[in-house]
């Protein structure tokens, strides 16, 4: 399996869209891995995780093969993860020679958010989108393109059923876990004894412990300890942190220095990892 991180920032990006704080100023000056766009990842060039407003940039900058993507998994409806207005441009007149249907999997809130763009884009664009929405619920696995995908409950916005995903194929497995704090009990129960080869974790808060909506490094360490206890990890399991907020205060290299002793890889925009 392969994962390509396209965006590794929290909602406002890093530097933040309108921010004048010190770490945003430093990130702007230093550039490189300190420039982080809104969260998105691509698995095996086939499964797209979330659809933020920076999806277009990821197509331009990282070669994200949008016309070829057939599966889109949505974690929740926060706009840094689901910006369906741009999906309307899949329709004829805006995109030519499009074949196949884009299968979208997400919760009820993301379905409502998709319906809400109707007054903005109009019925014609909605009908022409060539996308099919599949409403999914936690702990009900489904198959897509030869992958077994299981949505799990996240600990995030309490107003909706936020999801994280367990993705399995050919004996390999990936847990894609943002946005979330330390998992709810039902998710721990589901994961018990299931082998994970890569754990991709929310580290929004970096040096600040949080755990109830997002995580920081200390929460990530606790999460990994509990995954070990639950028999989910093994000696070759890889741990990656992502979805960083400037409020966490650490530029890429500083974050890497603190993450390395914990056994975590620090994601950056464009990072690709095979496992
Ligand atoms: Zn987010
Ligand atoms: Zn800032
Ligand atoms: Zn969120």
Write down the residue that tokens 């755990």 correspond to: 211
Question: Residue range 232-260: average pLDDT?
Answer: 98
State the pLDDT at residue 249: 96
Ligand positioned closest to the Cα atom of 17: 2
Per-residue pLDDT reduced to its tens digit, 8-26: 999 999 999 999 999 999 9
Q: pTM for this structure? A: 0.97
Report angle CA 252, 246, 256 to the nearest 5 degrees. 20
Q: Does 112 score more than 90 pLDDT?
A: yes
Indicate the average pLDDT of the chain. 97
CB 201 within 8 A of CB 240: yes
Write down the residue that tokens 């093969």 correspond to: 65
Q: Compute, in angstroms, the gap from residue 124 CA to the centroid of ligand 1.
A: 30
Q: Compute, in angstroms, the gap from residue 258 CA to the centroid of ligand 1.
A: 22
Q: Compute, in angstroms, the gap from residue 76 CA to the centroid of ligand 3.
A: 7
From CA 35, how far away is CA 16, in angstroms rounded? 10
State the pLDDT at residue 92: 85
Per-residue pLDDT reduced to its tens digit, 43-96: 999 999 999 999 999 999 999 999 999 999 999 999 999 999 999 999 888 999
Ligand positioned closest to the Cα atom of 245: 2
Q: Does 255 score more than 90 pLDDT?
A: yes
Q: Compute, in angstroms, the gap from residue 227 CA to the centroid of ligand 1.
A: 23
Ligand positioned closest to the Cα atom of 247: 2
- For the chain, the structural domain boundaries read 2-274
Question: Residue range 120-137: average pLDDT?
Answer: 93
Ligand positioned closest to the Cα atom of 162: 3
Q: Does 155 score more than 90 pLDDT?
A: yes
Ligand positioned closest to the Cα atom of 11: 1
- Determine whether domain 2-274 maps to CATH 3.60.15.10: yes
State the pLDDT at residue 176: 98
Sign for the pseudo-dihedral over CA of 97, 100, 101, 103? negative
Ligand positioned closest to the Cα atom of 154: 3
From CA 207, how far away is CA 138, in angstroms rounded? 30
Which residues are near ligand 1, the ion (C-beta closer than 5 Å)? 80, 179
Q: Compute, in angstroms, the gap from residue 19 CA to the centroid of ligand 2.
A: 5
Selected residue with higher pLDDT from 124 and 181? 181
Determine what percent of the chain is predicted with pLDDT higher than 90.
Answer: 96
Exposure on the CB side of residue 129, measured as CA atoms within 13 A? 21
Backbone angles phi, psi at 244, to 5 degrees: -95, 140
């Amino acid at each position: 399996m392969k994962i390509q991180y396209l965006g590794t920032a929290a909602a406002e990006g890093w530097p933040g869209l309108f921010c004048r704080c010190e770490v945003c100023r430093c990130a702007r000056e230093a550039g490189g891995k300190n420039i982080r766009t809104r969260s998105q990842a691509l698995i095996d060039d086939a499964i797209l995780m979330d659809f933020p407003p920076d999806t277009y940039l990821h197509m331009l900058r990282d070669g994200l093969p949008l016309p070829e993507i057939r599966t889109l998994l949505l974690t929740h409806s926060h706009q840094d993860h689901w910006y369906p207005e741009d999906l309307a441009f899949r329709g004829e007149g805006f995109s030519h020679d499009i074949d196949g249907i884009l299968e979208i999997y997400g919760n009820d809130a993301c379905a409502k958010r998709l319906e809400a763009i109707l007054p903005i884009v109009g019925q014609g664009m909605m009908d022409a989108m060539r996308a099919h929405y599949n409403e999914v619920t936690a702990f009900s696995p489904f198959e897509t393109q030869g992958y077994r995908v299981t949505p799990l409950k996240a600990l995030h916005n309490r107003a909706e059923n936020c999801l994280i995903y367990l993705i399995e194929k050919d004996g390999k497995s990936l847990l894609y876990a943002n946005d979330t704090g330390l998992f709810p009990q039902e998710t721990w129960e589901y994961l018990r004894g299931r082998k994970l080869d890569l754990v991709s974790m929310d580290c929004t808060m970096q040096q600040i412990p949080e755990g109830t909506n997002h995580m920081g490094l200390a929460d990530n360490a606790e999460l990994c300890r509990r995954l070990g206890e639950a028999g989910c990890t093994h000696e070759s399991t890889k741990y990656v942190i992502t979805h960083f907020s400037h409020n966490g205060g650490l530029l890429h290299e500083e974050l890497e220095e603190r993450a390395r002793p914990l056994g975590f890889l620090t994601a950056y925009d464009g990072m690709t990892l095979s496992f």
